[in-house]
Amino acid sequence: MSRVLMKGNEAMALAAIKGGCDAFFGYPITPQNEIPEYLSEHMAKEDRVFVQAESEVAAINMVYGAGGAGARVLTSSSSPGIALKQEGISYLAGSEVPCVIINVMRGGPGLGGIQPSQADYNQITRGGGNGDYHLLSYAPENLQEAVDLIKQSFDKADAYRNPVMIAVDGLLGQMMEPVDLERTPDSKQRERKEWATDGDAGRRGKANTIVSLHLDPNKLEEHNLALKEKYDRMVENEQRYERLETEDAELVFIAYGSTARIARSAVESLREEGYKVGMIRPITLWPFPENAFKKLPDTVHTLLTLEMSLGQMHQDVKIVNQGRYHLDLYARTGGVVPEPEEFIEKAKAILKKEDAA
Amino acid sequence: MNSDTVYRPKQGLTDREFHYCPGCTHGIIHKLVGEVLTEQGLIGEAIGVASVGCSVLNYVYFDCDMQQAAHGRAPAVATGIKRVRENHAVFTYQGDGDLASIGLAEAVHAAHRGENITVIFVNNAIYGMTGGQMAPTTLIGQKTTTSPFGREKEGTGEPLRVSELLATVPGAAYLERVSVHDPKHVRKAKKALEKAFDTQMKGKGFSLVEFISTCPVNWGIQPRESLDWAVENMIPYYPLGVFKDPEKEEEDD
Amino acid sequence: MKRIVMLCGHSGSGKSEIAINLAIDAGVDKLVDLDIVNPYFRSRSVHALLEEEGIALIEGTPEQSLNSDLPTISAAARTPFVSPSMRAVYDLGGGPSGARLMRQYTDVIDKHHVECLLVVNTMRPGLDTPEAILQLISRLEGAGGIKVDGLINNTNLMEETTEETLAEGERILRTVSDTLDLPIRYTFHLSKVPITRAFAGEVRALERYLAPEWL
Amino acid sequence: MTEEKVIIAGFGGQGVMLMGQLLAQAATHEGMHTTWFPSYGPETRGGTANCSVVFDNHPINSPVVSVPDSLLILNHPSLAKFQGKLKEGGVLVVNTSLVEEKDLRDDVRIIKVDANQKALEIGNLKVANMVMLGAYVKASGIFSRESLLKVFKERFTGEKQKLLEMNTRAFDAGMELAAD
């Protein structure tokens, strides 16, 4: 198979199968329904597990069970559903059970709307459940990248024994684009997970337990510090980003996911008109790609965060910036997808002000 | 069982000493589960799911792989496990706060899907762990820390009968309510557990054994009295017996 | 002091500190921690110290569930009641829910060898009148199936305690004492608070074992 | 080629989404980059529906089309909603069966297609969308007829295979209408 035209949600579902996903547990919510719909058919054809749970809460706890039993597991949902899943996500992280979670974001808070949004940034990067934990989270910009990242995410989840979240918005989930499913290698069958509660205690002569309960605060702190050491390794090794036209840029956009696609258009138009504009595109939301902000050229004077949420990522830009550059934010929210013209206008206003100064 | 046998060392359980209060029946029920899993040759490959409640730590007692679930979610966790480990005996061990209240949806839907798991449901008509609050199973007139004047039907409803409720769910294959207040009933309870795991291993669907249990501490009575209290007050409202039997269903068909 | 002393009271009355003080001073065999209500500041956290003093601690919750809110009690908690030569101090949880589990032992409590003392700090909200304390006693007795045999004045405002604080507490407790004909068995004061006048019962300086310095 | 941005709009049930998907699929066969993005509101049959399709020889950034190069309008409410967005000199393919001609802009290239009438002549009102599609393919000159027929063959398989012939006829009829 070379390039095929697929809808985002279907492409992500198929990528999960190719990533070696053994089981899917989910609950319907717009705009990600094509994922369970696609998998209900194709997981069965592959003789793998598909269960439509009675709620998001049940679904994530099924993920916890199947992941604990050593399987590669996927669930998907959208913002309010992800909020419901936070209980289980905290348990997964706390007891170090790997899984992959696809979040096709929509507007909030509450029931919000069903149009594309990035307002889950905090929910994704700050945890959303209780306790000190992090999810490795990828924010692809197009369907090819989504497919590549999802395939790899099962390996990453297993390697770190940690949940991995794929964060896209409704736009990427709903749009169609050609993808090459063979571009990245399919995941190979894995070895048995030594820690899993897979019911082989009799053969091993030693039972495994999977718990997140540690009643002695000193033991719990020790556990948390061990987790932190793991998260530190992720910060060290897993930061991913793209730098576009930053070599001589005066103004640098910071944008991810769909917003980055739109920002890319704006960069191209602005460059054609002679404006020195570039972009940093985080591919991992957590760990936030601090490295992308190192060694920026001296020409840079302003970083402009563009996001479909009211400055949630901008907080991370502020932390990374440490007072070096002027900062600005252009945000749309509630399901409104910005148009390149809006970014262009904002960029011109900033550059004009700089010239005047 | 040989009639000369008066005590048998525990099987299917670790050497850890139970933390349960005197008069509480968790210990007996643990022992029965361990015995049945051992006698049926399942313990080495069994996977248990611990829930939240007084038995939250049972993962240190059962001598098999154990996963600890969030409050009420044990049937969902067990679903996940069973779907990827089809040939293993998978069981949950839940109290009435866990199963009949916060986790009712998970329990009903696991039964509803005909999930091929076994649920050990321990009903003592009160929240033990958090200090004796009213449970959905608390009897009318029963005083708890959140029904200080005795539970009234008005506003809190009447006690929920889980076995009877699940008997209306088509996917539930085997349901029985038992008690462990005397040796005769303990033997009967063991038979129920045997049948429940048998139902699972034959792939017939969801099985649940409901145990009438005690809580002397939170009922505020002596351990010995608590067994009598259960017999006199709980069993009349929660009658013992089989509510669903796959063999009967087959005969009826 | 009788062979067995049970300390009951309202939450935050200082039962556990006094239990440890009494147990160490009297050199009893066992300190039984039956506080299943409050998972903080329980006598079980001074396990090591008690061991040095030769006092065995009987606690409900096994080591693996330390700091859990499991309301479990150990079967060994019954032993002192039925062992004629064993001396013990029982530390009950606060309020009626703490007293409730004494129902467990109504069949083995022998009033000749057991006394139940109520620890009171009248500076705690809602306990600043004799009526309030009388009501508390009635509720504790109802819940636990026990009878209060005496009072302990532990009135204090922590660091701000003065001798007058203690005297104020005694005034209130005397009314309770007169109404129910209960003796005030002890008065506890912080060693920092010098005592210049007479107080009811045995007057003892309280060593604080449980509360950290910064509290 | 340079980027071609298209909006296709009509009411739900007219096959608007399918038209976009067929074009995107044909573009994939021709080695182009393409995106298809639906408006996925609560619209169902009877409501308004639209999708955006973009074709380019370079990777496409925004799948959201604010100023289309071409506009395919299948009913009158869609004309009111989208006509103003069409770029000056762009292509406007209108279903004159359901659109009042007096409201049409005069600064764009208009392809009038009596699609419903033509579909009825062919034998089924449902293929009106294929008539529109044929007209657009002819007018834009971006795709070969063969690419579209290949896509038809991929789409109309199994039970739907019997629809292949009628859809092809409708498509060809549309191409013919645009050639006039």
CATH 3.40.50.920 fits A241-356, yes or no: yes
pLDDT band at B4 (very low <50, low <70, confident <90, very high): confident
d(CA B164, CA B141): 21
Q: Quick check: A257 and A169 in contact, CB under 8 A?
A: yes
List the single range of A237-241, B138-142, B166-170, D101-105 with lowest mean pLDDT. Answer: D101-105
Q: Which residue from A minimizes the CA distance to D25?
A: A5
Q: What is the pLDDT of residues B178-221, one digit of tens each?
A: 999 999 999 999 999 999 999 999 999 999 999 999 999 999 99
pLDDT band at C42 (very low <50, low <70, confident <90, very high): low
B-C contacts at Cβ under 8 angstroms: 67
Domain ranges of chain A: 3-188+212-237, 241-356
d(CA A136, CA A282): 13
Whether residue B94 is predicted with pLDDT greater than 80 in this model: the reply is yes
Higher-pLDDT residue of D43, A116: A116
Please give the pLDDT value at position D43: 46
Please give the pLDDT value at position A148: 97
pLDDT band at D17 (very low <50, low <70, confident <90, very high): very high
Please give the pLDDT value at position A52: 95
Please enumerate residues of C whose Cβ is less than 8 A from a Cβ of B: 36-37, 60-62, 64-65, 68-73, 75, 78, 97, 100-101, 103-107, 143, 145
Domain ranges of chain B: 26-252
CA separation, residue B196 to residues B32, B235, C181, D79 (Å): 12, 21, 61, 66
pLDDT band at C185 (very low <50, low <70, confident <90, very high): very high
- Count of other CB atoms within 10 angstroms of residue D30: 16
Give the distance from residue B219's alpha carbon to the nearest chain C alpha carbon, in angstroms: 9
Give the distance from residue A243's alpha carbon to the nearest chain D alpha carbon, in angstroms: 16
Amino acid at C99: A
Average of per-residue pLDDT across C101-116: 91
Three-state DSSP class for residue A128: coil
Q: Quick check: B96 and B72 in contact, CB under 8 A?
A: no
Flag whether residue D50 sits within 8 Å of chain A, measured between CB atoms: no
CA separation, residue D74 to residues A34, A67, B192, C57, D151 (Å): 27, 49, 67, 85, 22
Q: Subunits touching B (CB < 8 Å, at least 3 pairs)? A: A, C
d(CA C128, CA B234): 42
CA end-to-end distance (rounded Å), chain A: 56
* Portion of chain B with pLDDT greater than 70, in percent: 98
According to DSSP, the β-strands at C202-206 and C88-92 are: unpaired
**Chains C and D lie in contact, requiring 3 or more CB pairs less than 8 Å apart:** no
- Per CB-CB distance under 8 Å, the chain C contacts of B23 are 104
Strand partners, B147: B144
Are the Cβ atoms of A176 and D61 closer than 8 angstroms? no
Average of per-residue pLDDT across B98-109: 97
Flag whether residue B241 sits within 8 Å of chain C, measured between CB atoms: no
Flag whether residue C66 sits within 8 Å of chain A, measured between CB atoms: yes
Average of per-residue pLDDT across C36-63: 75
- Per CB-CB distance under 8 Å, the chain B contacts of A25 are 79-80
Three-state DSSP class for residue A210: strand
Q: Quick check: B76 and A62 in contact, CB under 8 A?
A: yes
Please give the pLDDT value at position C51: 87
Q: Quick check: A59 and A25 in contact, CB under 8 A?
A: yes
**Torsional class of B155: left (φ above 0), alpha (ψ -120 to 50), beta (otherwise):** left
- Per CB-CB distance under 8 Å, the chain A contacts of B106 are 54, 57-58, 61
Whether residue C142 is predicted with pLDDT greater than 50 in this model: the reply is yes
Please give the pLDDT value at position A187: 84
Give the distance from residue A310's alpha carbon to the nearest chain D alpha carbon, in angstroms: 21
User: 3-state SS of chain D: helix, strand, coil percent to 5?
Assistant: 45, 20, 35
Which token pair is A302? 């302003």
Give the distance from residue D151's alpha carbon to the nearest chain A alpha carbon, in angstroms: 11
Give the distance from residue A215's alpha carbon to the nearest chain C alpha carbon, in angstroms: 6
Maximum alpha-carbon separation in chain D: 45
Please give the pLDDT value at position C210: 81
Please give the pLDDT value at position A230: 98
Q: Which residue from D minimizes the CA distance to A265?
A: D61
Average of per-residue pLDDT across A220-241: 98
Mutation for testing the A interface, residue in D64, D67, D154 having most A CBs under 10 Å: D64
- Cis previous bond, B22, omega within 30: no
Of A182-191, C20-29, C31-40, give the range with the top mean pLDDT: C20-29
Please give the pLDDT value at position A1: 47
d(CA C23, CA B89): 51
Give the distance from residue D37's alpha carbon to the nearest chain A alpha carbon, in angstroms: 4
| Common-topology check for domains A3-188+212-237 and A241-356 | yes
Q: What is the pLDDT of residues C52-76, one digit of tens each?
A: 889 998 876 555 455 556 667 888 8
Q: What is the mean pLDDT of chain C?
A: 88
Which token pair is B161? 């009968």
Average of per-residue pLDDT across A176-199: 89
pLDDT band at D44 (very low <50, low <70, confident <90, very high): very low
H/E stretch holding A51:
strand A49-52
Please give the pLDDT value at position C67: 55
Are the Cβ atoms of B132 and C107 closer than 8 angstroms? no
Flag whether residue C72 sits within 8 Å of chain A, measured between CB atoms: no
Q: What is the mean pLDDT of chain D?
A: 92
Q: Quick check: A300 and A306 in contact, CB under 8 A?
A: no
Q: Quick check: B36 and B8 in contact, CB under 8 A?
A: no
Please give the pLDDT value at position A87: 96
Whether residue B137 is predicted with pLDDT greater than 70 in this model: the reply is yes
**Residue D41: CB partners within 8 Å, gap ≥ 6?**
A114, D47
Higher-pLDDT residue of C74, B61: B61
Please give the pLDDT value at position C215: 47
d(CA B181, CA B158): 24
Q: Quick check: A210 and A201 in contact, CB under 8 A?
A: no
According to DSSP, the β-strands at A23-26 and A73-77 are: parallel
What kind of architecture, by CATH, is found in domain A3-188+212-237? 3-Layer(aba) Sandwich (3.40)
Kindly list the strands in the beta sheet with A136-138, ordered across the sheet, starting from the edge strand earlier in the chain.
A49-52, A23-26, A73-77, A99-105, A163-169, A136-138, A284-286
- Per CB-CB distance under 8 Å, the chain A contacts of D28 are 3-5, 178
Give the distance from residue A212's alpha carbon to the nearest chain C alpha carbon, in angstroms: 13
- Per CB-CB distance under 8 Å, the chain C contacts of B56 are 68, 70
With the C-alpha atoms ordered D73, D45, A82, A5, is the resulting torsion angle positive or negative? Answer: negative
pLDDT band at D120 (very low <50, low <70, confident <90, very high): very high
Residue for token digits 């304390």? C133
Three-state DSSP class for residue D85: helix
CA separation, residue A341 to residues A319, A352, C14, D62 (Å): 28, 16, 70, 11
d(CA A87, CA A95): 13
Mutation for testing the B interface, residue in A62, A85, A200 having most B CBs under 10 Å: A62
List the single range of B153-167, C64-78, C88-102 with lowest mean pLDDT. Answer: C64-78
Q: What are phi and psi of A77, to 5 degrees?
A: -165, -170
Mutation for testing the B interface, residue in C34, C36, C104, C108 having most B CBs under 10 Å: C104
Q: Where are the alpha helices (DSSP H) in chain C?
A: 15-26, 47-52, 79-82, 95-99, 130-144, 163-180
Q: What is the pLDDT of residues D49-87, one digit of tens each?
A: 899 999 999 999 889 898 999 999 999 999 999 999 999
Whether residue A290 is predicted with pLDDT greater than 80 in this model: the reply is yes
Average of per-residue pLDDT across A212-223: 93
d(CA A312, CA A305): 10
Closest-CA residue to A214 (of C65, B13, C40): C65
Orientation angle between helical segments A56-68 and B104-112, nearest 10 degrees: 70
Strand partners, C150: C117
**Residue D90: CB partners within 8 Å, gap ≥ 6?**
D68, D69, D70, D71, D108, D109
- Per CB-CB distance under 8 Å, the chain B contacts of A201 are 44-46, 63-65
d(CA C113, CA C207): 26
Give the distance from residue B83's alpha carbon to the nearest chain A alpha carbon, in angstroms: 7
* Portion of chain D with pLDDT greater than 90, in percent: 83
Q: What is the pLDDT of residues A55-78, one digit of tens each?
A: 999 999 999 999 999 999 999 999
Q: Quick check: B124 and B214 in contact, CB under 8 A?
A: yes
- Per CB-CB distance under 8 Å, the chain C contacts of A215 are 64-68
Please give the pLDDT value at position D40: 67
Amino acid at D165: E
Are the Cβ atoms of C71 and B56 closer than 8 angstroms? no
Average of per-residue pLDDT across A311-339: 96
Are the Cβ atoms of A265 and D61 closer than 8 angstroms? yes
Q: What is the pLDDT of residues A136-156, one digit of tens each?
A: 999 999 999 999 999 999 999
Q: Quick check: C123 and C173 in contact, CB under 8 A?
A: no
DSSP for chain B reads: --TT-------SB-SPPP-PPTT-SHHHHHHHHHHHHHHTT-GGG-EEEE-SSTTTTGGGTBSSEEEEPPTT-HHHHHHHHHHHSTTS-EEEEEEHIIIIIITHHHHHHHHHTT---EEEEEE-SSBTTTTSB--TTPPTT--BTTBTT---HHHH-SPP-HHHHHHTSTTEEEEEEEE-SSHHHHHHHHHHHHHHHHHHHTT--EEEEEEE---HHHHTS-HHHHHHHIIIIIHHHS--EEEE-HHHHHHH-
Whether residue C43 is predicted with pLDDT greater than 80 in this model: the reply is no
pLDDT band at C214 (very low <50, low <70, confident <90, very high): low
Which token pair is C129? 């009148």
Whether residue B2 is predicted with pLDDT greater than 70 in this model: the reply is no
- Per CB-CB distance under 8 Å, the chain B contacts of C70 are 19, 54, 56-57, 129
- Cis previous bond, A109, omega within 30: yes
Q: Which domains does chain D have, with CATH numbers?
A: 4-179 (3.40.920.10)
**Chains A and D lie in contact, requiring 3 or more CB pairs less than 8 Å apart:** yes
d(CA B215, CA B67): 25
The three-state DSSP-derived secondary structure of C63-118 is: HHHCCCCCCCCCHHHHHHHHCCCCCEEEEECCHHHHHHHHHHHCCCCCCCCEEEEE
Q: Quick check: A291 and A240 in contact, CB under 8 A?
A: no
Three-state DSSP class for residue A86: helix
**Residue A94: CB partners within 8 Å, gap ≥ 6?**
A131, A133, A212, A227
Q: Quick check: C35 and C43 in contact, CB under 8 A?
A: yes
Q: Which residue from D minimizes the CA distance to A32?
A: D40
Flag whether residue A40 sits within 8 Å of chain B, measured between CB atoms: no
Q: Could you say which of C64, C65, C67 has the minimum Cβ distance to residue A217? A: C67
- Per CB-CB distance under 8 Å, the chain C contacts of B147 are none
CATH 3.40.50.970 fits B26-252, yes or no: yes
